Structure formats: C-alpha cells, structure tokens
Structure 1
Amino acid sequence: MAALLLGACTSATPPAPSSTALPAAPEIASGYRTGMAPVQAQHHMAAAANPLASAAGQAMLRKGGSAIDAAIAMQAVLTLVEPQSSGIGGGAFILYWDGKQVQAFDGRETAPQGADSRLFLKPDGTPMGFKDAQIGGRSVGVPGVLRALEMAHQQHGKLPWRALFQPAIDLARDGFPVSARLHALIAASTSIPQSPALARYLLTPQGQPMPVGTLLKNPELAQTLEAIANQGPDAFYHGPIAEAMVQQVNTHSNPGTLSLGDIAGYRAKVREPVCGPYKQWTVCGMPPPSSGGVAVLQTLGILEALQRQKPALDLAAMAPEKARPGGVMQPSAQAVHLIAEAERLAYADRALYLADSDQVPVNVPGLTSKAYLAQRATLIGDRSMGVATAGVPPGMPLAWAPDRSPLRISTSQIVAVDDQGGALSMTTSVEAAFGSHVLVKGFLLNNQMTDFSFIPEENGKPVANRIAPGKRPRSSMAPTLVFDQASGQLVAALGSPGGSQIIEYVNKALIGLLDWKLDPQQAVDLPNFGSRNVGTEVEAGLIGPALIEQLKARGHAVSPIEMTSGTQVIVRDGQGWSAGADPRREGVALGD
C-alpha cells in the first residue's frame, strides 16, 4: 500500500513499452466508408452494427414499440448476421432512460460453479496462450443477455415479447446475404476450420469462406428463436437448449464445467448507474462489473480538473483540424496528449481495482471523486508519463495485484430512442471473434471467461478480477447516456465495441460531441487514438505522420494500429434526433 500511495503522489516514468506489447484488435478492420452524413429523424431512431438489425429495430419503433423493444429485435437479428460479435449465447450491459430515471441492467455472464482461479493455468503454473484458452468449452460463461432483455422488457416493453423475434426468425429461415465484413472475419479466422460445426455453417464444402452475397440460412437458429419467442427466456435456460449447451461445453476437447444448475440459476441484475458531472453535462455509464463507466468518468473528470488547474488546457479550444478534400479530420497533438495521459491514469486504476462488485469491494465514489481526480490530474505534464501507476482513492481498504489479462473482447453496439421519450444504449458481446467457436442450436457460445485474469495472484497479492464460481468477469463495455445538467434533458446515447479500447472510443466520441461541437457522424468518423497505459495508440492510415512525430517529441511511444471501433451515436437535434454510425463497420442508423 505504501508503494501505491507513492504512485498516487508522484508521476511514475518507467520506460515506455514497445509497440509489440500492444494486443491486436479483437476484430480485424474491413474498410473505412467515406462520405457518410448524419441521419435525421423527428420521432424515433435505431442504430446497430448491421443494416438488417437496424431495420428490425426501426420496424418495432414504427409499431409504437419502446427503445427496449427495438433493442430486443436488433439483438436477435445480430445473433444471426453478426455472429462474430454478439448473440444470445453472450452477455450485455443495458443503460436505459425511461424519461424519468436511468437504470443499468446487468446481463454479464457468470462463471460456472465448477470454475476456479487456476482455470487458465497450465500444469506448471504459467498462463495458457489466449487461443488455447478461448477455443472450446473451457472459456464459456453462463449467457446472460436474454435474462437482461427480459427484465428490461418486463418494465419497459410496449410490444409483445413474441413479436420482437419475428424479423430474426424470418431471416434465419429464409436466409440473409453474407456481408463483406462477415466474409472478411470468416476468412481471417484460423480456428473456424478446426471447429467442425462452425466450419460446416460458415465455410463452403471446399473449405473456403462463404462468398459475399451468399444466401446463408440457419434453420436451427430459427427454431431456437421461435422457442424463445413463444416460451420466453425459460426456453433457453431450461430444457433442450440448456441441455445442448451443457453437452457441447463439457464434451469438447477443451472442456468446461458448465452445468444445468449454472444455466437455470442465472439472474440478471438492475444496478445503480455510475453518473457524474462533466462541465455542464451529466454523463451516466455502467457500474462494475464493467470498468467502462468508471474509466470514462475518471478520464473526463481528470481532464476537467486539469482545465481548472491550468485554464489554457481547455479541450474545447483544441478542436480538430477540418478535413482536407478526400481526407479525415486530424486531432491536435495537444488534445491527443492530454486525453491519452488521462486515460493512462484511468486504465492504471482499472487494472488494480475494478472487478465484480458483488464479490470484490469496489469504491466507485472514491474512484470518481473530484478531489481524487484533481490529485490525479496533477500528474499530467508537458511530456508523457510513459506508464501510469494506480492511485489510492479514499476509502480503499485493500491492496490488489494488477490484472494483466489479455486486452481483447469482440462486441457490438445498439442505440435507440423511441416516441415516448425513452432511450437505450446497449453493448453486447461474445468476447473474442466468434466467441468460443462452440455452435449450439444455431448460435455461438461466448468465451467470456477469458475476460478474467489468467493469473489469480502476483507477489502474494490477489488479483481483483481473478476467477471465482458465480463471479462476473470485468468488462470494458461503456454504454453511455448524456444529460444537460440545467434541464435534465437527454442529450445523447452512445457506445462502442472494441474490447479494452471501448473506453478510448467512447471518450473520443464524447469529447467530439461535447467539447468540439461535432455532429454525431463527425464525432464517430474522427480518427481513433488514446492509451490503455501501454504506449500511445493512433489509428493506422487515418492519423497523419506529422501528428505522430509531434507526439513522439512529447515522449510518447506511438503505435499506429488497427482501431476497429463500431461506435453508434444518437444526439438530440432541436426537436428531433441526429445519428451517426461508425464507418469502420457496416452499421447504419434508421429513423422516422
């Protein structure tokens, strides 16, 4: 603890890590669409990572459905058309505004009762390689997304549960054209050919990726969704579907310990959202077991505190350069420097303190207090600190070892606003691309267990995010809602996939919207950048060499890498709405 206290009071400046220390993006890049414009609507809006999913959400809103109705329809379709990222075999965090209050619905997976802290250790005590841990039943947590959607629908649904699944059922039975992105993800996977059921589904008889435009049908998923539509989520958590999940997980060559009791006993939870001020706004995010809400509030709070300490460092005065014809906007070196340094401090705390608050004490008020964040802001100088050290928030009773888990997770993002004034941001995931690669009844099971720390302790200290039965692995998912402090009116709903980079992507979009007054499409289009406390990351191909050299001159170890966000944003625009979809994926926003 004394060492941690020292780290809170002085700037730690160990050698900057090399670029080789950075983990790969959880999903490969598949292009960057240019010329996109914000979508306008007067009454309602739905945005998802695939046009077919967005259309399903829009259809529910047109029938008078709520934002949660739209989200259920979109998630069902994404299970089919974007299996690499999310689905009913995974988990989700939902932030919901009903016009009066914000609720956080936790549908994060849980560890089976048979799992223990040594799950991902080899016999010699060293951690397994990521792929060795990911592929198969060992990595599967109890899926939670359907229970979370059910809980939210019971409180806020307007349309019948059954009707919400019909678009996905029809598409699964009749087929959908394989998109360019899905084809690229299939082609990039070296594990699909070793997963027989998945290979039969996604590869041609000759073992090649399904060509773009191929009509892909999934009658087994249609049957699964019909059962869930007619009987509710109990059809998933009891009976033949649950039995098939247990059988596939436990008989895999890399088996897990999933039981019928684990599945039947899963419970979604309503949690208190993490909300805090940023200038004239209130920003609300997801509480633990996600680190996203805390880390976003920490980043924004540190930046605002820095401005109070040094008024010349107001981000609002550092708007990006306008794009040249055929180019993209470039953030200023000063803005990237400040944001990356603030993120270093937030990620350092994330690695040490954040985990499932049902099993680990997490002092969210201490981590997000103005006094603590002001103290952290004093560590930011003109040059990069390299690697930040975790601080000691007030009231932290325990010292933990830092979590050195692989920084990966494959995810999708849904946002919606409805006619009744409701709004939703939902981040949903199966963890790595195509999850565990275990295909059951037409859907993929997650590999969310690999979001736990592979190493349970270090130097005699436990890791807060170590595996334990029934525990929920820490996440970076950051569904976010923004409100005007003076009026209480909803300003924006947003979020992004992207693994541990989600926090960076949401920070960039928030600062673009709030400080730089960009429209939602510009805020999403802006090149990605930031730091996970491992070097400074800039988006390869979009951040220019001049900016990279300016950052290096400030001491940053700069790594141009793929930063495959999938941010969806809806903002209030006068009496209506304006939305932007990420050009790095294939999503669209649709509204009326």
Structure 2
Amino acid sequence: MRSRHTAHQLLKSTLLASTILTALSVTAQDANPEAASGKSVGKASISSKKFMAATANPLATNAAYDVLKKGGSAVDAAIAAQLVLGLTEPQSSGIAGGAFLLTFDGKNVTNYDGRETAPKKVNEKLFQTDAGADMAFYDAVVGGRSVGVPGVVAMLDLAHKREGKLPWAELFKPAIALAENGFAISPRLNTLLKTEKYLNKDEAAKTYFYEADGITPKAVGTVLKNPEYAAVLKTIAKQGPKGFYTGDVAKAIVNKVNSHPTNPGSMALADMAGYKAKTRTAVCGDYRGHKICGPAAPSSGGVAVLQILGMLERFDLKNLKPADAQAIHYYTEAGSYAFADRGMYLADPDFVKVPTAALIDKNYLARRSALIDPNKSIAGKATAGVPEEMKKVARIDLGSPELTSTSHISIVDANGHAVSMTTSIEDQFGARQFVKGMLLNNQLTDFSFSPMNKDGSAVANRVQAGKRPRSSMAPVLVFDKAGNLEMVVGSPGGSRIINYVAQTLVNLIDWKMDPQTAVDAAHYGSRNNGKTELEKGADWTAATAELKAKGHDVIEGETTSGLSAIVKTPNGYIGGADSRREGTVKGD
C-alpha cells in the first residue's frame, strides 16, 4: 500500500497552495507554459555567509545544499539539483531536455549550451500539414515529432570536467535515493496534473502519475517511486554521458520517439550518439555601472534582456515607483522593441548570422530608446531595427509559441564561484512521452512552424537538421566594475522569461529591493504582441487608466515565473525564491 504524507509535513510552508487558478485565455503563442498553482505567503529573504543554493523545489535545493556542504563546487551542486528536479518536478525539466548554463570560476564567465538539436532526418516542413499550413500546436507537440535530441547530460558532463570538484558518481546519489525510496507529490505537480489533457494518453505516464482509473491524478503527498529513473541514473553515474547517449537508454528513447502511433518522430541512434554540448561566448553588457552577462544565441534571452536594460538606461527610474504607470510604460515599450529585434535576428548562430554585438551596441540601443515617447505608446507592434551594417535575415516568426516549461537553479559555492542555469523540456510535461522514468522534451516546437515569410525569404528560426531551436532562457550573472560577482538571477516562464529577468534586475539595481521582494514583485511587460501584460491579482487601479490614456492595450493574466535571485553582501549572501512556485533557498 502506498504511504501518504501531507504536504505540510514534508514540504512545510514553502509549498504552494494547490488551488487551480483560471488561466488567461489567449492563443498558444501567448499562453503560459505551465498552469498557475497559487502563490505562497510569508516568504522572506534568506541569508548565509559561505554559500547558497536556490532551486524551484525543496528536495532539489536540499540536494544542492548537501553537495556544497561537502565542499562541492557550484557546478557539482547544479548537477545534483538537476537530477532531483527531473524526478520531483518532471513537468518542467529533466535529463531528457535541454539547458543553458552560465558559470563563474572566480575569473571567467563560461556559457554552456545544452540546447536540444533537431534529428538529421527532419526538414523545414516538419510542422507543416500536407496542405502547407502550420500544424495546430498540440497536434505538433504530443508524440515523437516534437522531440529534440536531449542536451542536459552532455552539457553537465562538459561543465563537470572543467569545473567540478566531487566525483561525478557522487552527485547522482541524492536523486537515486529519492527515486528508489520515493518522494511525495507536491501541490504544484498535483495541480498541473489536474490541468493536463494529454499526459494520460501515454500508458507509461498514466500508470506512473494517475490512479487506477487513469483519469484522477495521484493525490498530494502520495509517495512516488521511480526505479526506472534510478536505473538510468546509475548507468550514467557509472558510464558517464555515453550511458545516456548510447546503449539501452538511447535505444529506448529513440524507439519511443519513432513508434508513436499517430505522431512519430524520426530520431536515430546516431543522432543521440552524435550530440555535442558547446561552449559559447556569453553576451555581456553594462547597465548603470553593473556588468550583466547572459546566454548567447541560440538563446535570445541574453541579447533581449540587455536590450531592454540598455533602452531603459536613459530614464530616471529610481525616482519612479515600480508600479507607477510611467515606469510600466517605459518598461513595456522597451520590451516591444527588444522582442521585435528578437524575432528578426535571433536563431542558431551555427546556421544564421546573428548580429549580437550590433544588437547590444550602446549607440544602437540609444537610437532604439529614442523611439520611446514618454507620453505615448506605439499602440501596436514595434518593428525591428537595422543594426549597423546588418541586413535583415528574417521576419517575425509567428509559428514559434515557445511554451517553455522550465526550471531555474542559482548557486554560489564556498569559493565564490557561481552557477545560473535555466533548464527545460518546453511545454508542460513536454511531448507527453514517458520512457524509463523520464519525460521527453518537445523542444522542436520552439522552431518557427513556417519556414518562409510571405515575401519568400527564409525564416531564421526555421527547422533544419542538426539545428538548435531559439530559446528565451536567460540565466544571468551580474558583476561590479571590478569584476566581482554581485548577483545570480534567472527564471522559467517561456518567452516571458526575458521580461521576468529584466524586471527583476531593475528591481534589484534601480529600486534596491531585497531579493525576495524583487522576485515576488507584480509582473508587467510586453512581448511585442500589441498588448501590455499585467499580472492578475495585483492592484493596477492607479496605473491602468493612465496606461490606456497613453495608448496601451492592457490585459491581465496569470504569470508562472519561478525566479530566484542571490545577491552578494558584505556579510555573505542573501537570496529569494519566487512565491509563485515551490522554490526554496538554503545556505550556510
């Protein structure tokens, strides 16, 4: 008989309420990646002197903390946390997904790219119907068609070889123990299962996540055991990444992808065996005397965050209040212009010329910022700029919803080395394919569904064999003028990640909020969809009328960020974890 424990006993006050909230009714492109699950109350910033870890799940935070306590590096702790997240927060990330990782080793920032790749047999018509139209989003997602070659394991191995301290196999022990002994279903996992429409169509997933009727999600506190996942972890712990990318594990993934009865993919064992994680040059820029570094393409997060901040720099935000209509106006207008450039230029740089330096050039951003009228919104969609000596390479690609079901990890170790890692399987529960205790990603739907523009030019983010789809993931590291680490910030949340992270940096830098207040602040932003998006539940009464008078089309809806922020202080560190999810912070 299954043992049951209450969420209060196991996860205490850090867990979210399990009330299902009504989601904003929007198109697939504008929808949240995961359903909202309530907001916890009473969270306060956590202080520590030596090291700190923040993740989206208490059990993952505990695993990272234990590794740091043993003298492990920030990378070691991130590995342990990710392996646990794949078990306890499977709807958001896992080793059958992808990630972007930024590290600081005391001297240098390294940008690790663990983004999934398209199998070699796919082509640009992957998400086109026989009639040449874009597939409906979930027709594309559910099954094997949307699954990219996973990148997390290879990326973590590469980072560990460079920046790990503890033995590789040691880092797998916490997740293996939890998988074998069981963990309690959290309120958030239960809530997302209640909102889920496709997962129980997969027999393996139905058996694992649902009661015998195949419809009712297993209750909060139900102890789940996952011996198949434990076996996979033992194999990788012993053999390294080849235990995942070759042999029985790889065969099981490929077979699952290709054998879906109605929507099969075309992944080969050679695709798995040939996957390579990469290092890239991080995208870094200045904002009010702080050096901010984020991930390079194929993530658009690093460029877009720096663009928003660069366009805001001329405005005296510190003399405004965060929820003032004028502050919201400046921020959302900057977001519109950044998202216009993102749609035009950002894609896999191994396939498309990406003008990164030109897009974050101070002079270019000054010209973009000059387009922001303090008294009037663009009241529609912004157009992309043309950076110096850069021809347009694509137009806005409306076929790329990017509903990134994501998680984020922020860590600083005892040596002051840091990790900011955003990790994803794309949509809630990914492709809804469960194999060997893992959910497969649906990251290929982050490509544009349409390969060509109306004018006949090729879309930069179109599907191509071996290509990595564009992402909005934006793990960020912040430094002072002397190069000393100041902050670690990041969030899940699909294309909204860019706004969540940039807003949190403004909260910390301009308005001097403590980390918990900064990550919990009510969200607003624009993704150049003609809408000014305000978080449902906050009091916008004073701002709304003024925003509308400026021409803003204001809408309110749920936001599903999962921010974490760690800030260096003279006495150590102070950290906060978003009250919208189950995240916790822990350190010594």
Q: Same fold (TM over 0.5)?
A: yes
The counterpart of 2:46, out of the listed 34, 39, 48, is 39
Same amino acid, percent of matched pairs: 53
Within-5 A mapping of 1:421-460 = 421-459=416-454, 460=456
Match of 1:227 in 2: 235
The 3-state SS of whatever aligns with 1:457 is coil
Q: 1:364 to 1:116 in 2, by over 3 A?
A: same
1:275 aligns to 2:270 (yes or no): no
1:566 aligns to 2:562 (yes or no): yes
For 1:295 and 1:129, the matched residues in 2 are separated by 28
The counterpart of 1:555, out of the listed 544, 551, 557, is 551
Match of 2:318 in 1: 316
1:511 aligns to 2:506 (yes or no): yes
For 2:41 and 2:155, the matched residues in 1 are separated by 36
The root-mean-square deviation of aligned C-alpha atoms, in Å, is 1.1
Q: 1:218 to 1:20 in 2, by over 3 A?
A: closer
1:397 aligns to 2:396 (yes or no): no
For 2:532 and 2:319, the matched residues in 1 are separated by 22
Match of 1:289 in 2: 298
The 3-state SS of whatever aligns with 1:137 is coil
Aligned length: 557
Match of 1:299 in 2: 308
Within-5 A mapping of 1:360-509 = 360-381=352-373, 382-386=375-379, 387-404=381-398, 405-459=400-454, 460-485=456-481, 487-509=482-504
For 2:540 and 2:290, the matched residues in 1 are separated by 32
Match of 1:58 in 2: 65
Kept after mapping to 2: 8 A contact 1:302/1:376 = yes
1:194 Cα deviation from its structure 2 partner: 1.4
1:196 Cα deviation from its structure 2 partner: 1.4
The 3-state SS of whatever aligns with 2:276 is coil
Kept after mapping to 2: 8 A contact 1:494/1:569 = yes
1:509-539 CA distance string (max 9 Å, x none):
1000000000000100100110001111010
Gaps of 5+ in 2: 1-23
Kept after mapping to 1: 8 A contact 2:143/2:260 = yes
Kept after mapping to 2: 8 A contact 1:19/1:557 = no
1:399 Cα deviation from its structure 2 partner: 3.4
For 1:335 and 1:102, the matched residues in 2 are separated by 32
For 1:438 and 1:35, the matched residues in 2 are separated by 37
The counterpart of 1:126, out of the listed 133, 145, 156, is 133
Match of 1:214 in 2: 222
The 3-state SS of whatever aligns with 2:145 is helix
Which residue identity does 1:197 align to in structure 2? A
For 1:362 and 1:415, the matched residues in 2 are separated by 28
1:32-61 CA distance string (max 9 Å, x none):
112211000000001110000000000000
1:311-362 CA distance string (max 9 Å, x none):
xx31121133xxxxxxxxxx11111110000010000000111000011000
Gaps of 5+ in 1: 1-17, 308-312, 321-330
For 1:341 and 1:408, the matched residues in 2 are separated by 23
The counterpart of 1:522, out of the listed 517, 541, 549, is 517
For 2:209 and 2:545, the matched residues in 1 are separated by 43
For 2:402 and 2:425, the matched residues in 1 are separated by 14
Match of 1:327 in 2: none
The counterpart of 2:264, out of the listed 255, 260, 267, is 255
TM-score by length of 1: 0.93
1:359-412 CA distance string (max 9 Å, x none):
100010111111111111111111110211101011213432221121421100
1:209-265 CA distance string (max 9 Å, x none):
010000011110011111111111110001000000111100102100100000000
Please, which moves more after superposition, 540-549 or 271-280?
540-549
For 1:371 and 1:408, the matched residues in 2 are separated by 33
Which residue identity does 2:383 align to in structure 1? T
Q: 1:134 to 1:213 in 2, by over 3 A?
A: same
Kept after mapping to 2: 8 A contact 1:19/1:559 = no
The 3-state SS of whatever aligns with 1:138 is coil
Match of 1:67 in 2: 74
Which residue identity does 2:257 align to in structure 1? V
Within-5 A mapping of 1:139-288 = 139-207=146-214, 208-253=216-261, 254-288=263-297
For 1:85 and 1:174, the matched residues in 2 are separated by 22
For 1:461 and 1:335, the matched residues in 2 are separated by 38
Kept after mapping to 1: 8 A contact 2:199/2:433 = no
The 3-state SS of whatever aligns with 1:293 is helix
Please, which moves more after superposition, 187-196 or 39-48?
187-196
Kept after mapping to 1: 8 A contact 2:402/2:471 = no
1:546 Cα deviation from its structure 2 partner: 2.6
For 2:147 and 2:25, the matched residues in 1 are separated by 30
The counterpart of 2:532, out of the listed 525, 530, 536, is 536
1:20 Cα deviation from its structure 2 partner: 4.5
Kept after mapping to 2: 8 A contact 1:19/1:558 = no
